[in-house]
Amino acid sequence: MELIYHPENTRSFRDMGWIKLYQSFHPNYPPAPNRRNFGVLVVFDNGFIMPGGKGFGMHPHDNMEIVSVLIHGAMVHSDTAGHNGINVENAIQLISAGTGVQHSEYNYSETEEIDNLQIWFLPKIKNLQPRYQTMVSEPADRDGKLQLLLSPTAENNSLEINQDVWMWRGSFKAGESISYHKRLNGNGIYLYIINGKAIAENQELSYRDGLGIINKESTDIFIKEDTDILIIDVPMV
């Protein structure tokens, strides 16, 4: 077994005025050694976008699976494939960029900042037709359990990702435990604490900490404080 610990306070940070950007890892801006990728998981950004129409102008992507998890706020999305709308709090957005798409994202609110996670995966098959999907993970859907957000086959009403990735979100009370068994041999498990405090593999994890677990079939997670957690089951090659 191998563990890769990403403490919140070692994330890179850039304040660009319109966004406060924290990066757990990124191929073009590694904040520390071993931060360029975790298997096919290549970007893990946490952006706080300021209110008043601030955001990302139209920009291109191709051959990337781009996931947004909207922790707080509302985001206006528009793309060149004709998708336009507002993603509300707790929305999950998946852009399968494929052969290429351009999109923009802006804070809908004039008064509240956005707390958004953006997570990028390399695709399993390149140059497919671009695809856009959304869902909302209501608190009741994940209270005391793991809700499946992404999967390769859209099981349990999850979004269908072009990769052998399963991503779950759960909200648990202090004193509860989770036992997670990975879905595919050769995958790793990546844990990310949105809020709260938990222990996995004898490592205490708190707000925005990440932990990668390699060469282990399962992991047990003990919840120390009320916790909102992401679990990502991801190919390592």
User: Domain total for the chain?
Assistant: 1
Average pLDDT, the chain: 95
Q: Which residues contact 68 (CB under 8 A, 6 or more apart)?
A: 75, 87, 91, 92, 93, 94, 105, 116, 117, 118, 119
CATH number of the domain that 93 lies in? 2.60.120.10
Q: Is residue 6 over pLDDT 80?
A: yes
149 lies in which domain range?
2-235
Query: 210 exposed, middle or buried (CB, 10 Å; 0-12, 13-18, 19+)?
Result: buried
Q: Which residues contact 217 (CB under 8 A, 6 or more apart)?
A: 181, 182
The pTM (predicted TM-score) of the whole model is: 0.96
pLDDT band at 36 (very low <50, low <70, confident <90, very high): confident
**C-alpha pair distances (Å), 232 with each of 74, 169, 184:** 24, 9, 12
Q: Is residue 31 over pLDDT 70?
A: no
Q: Is residue 9 over pLDDT 80?
A: yes
pLDDT tens by residue, 200-227: 999 999 999 999 999 999 999 999 999 9
**What's the pLDDT at 35?**
79
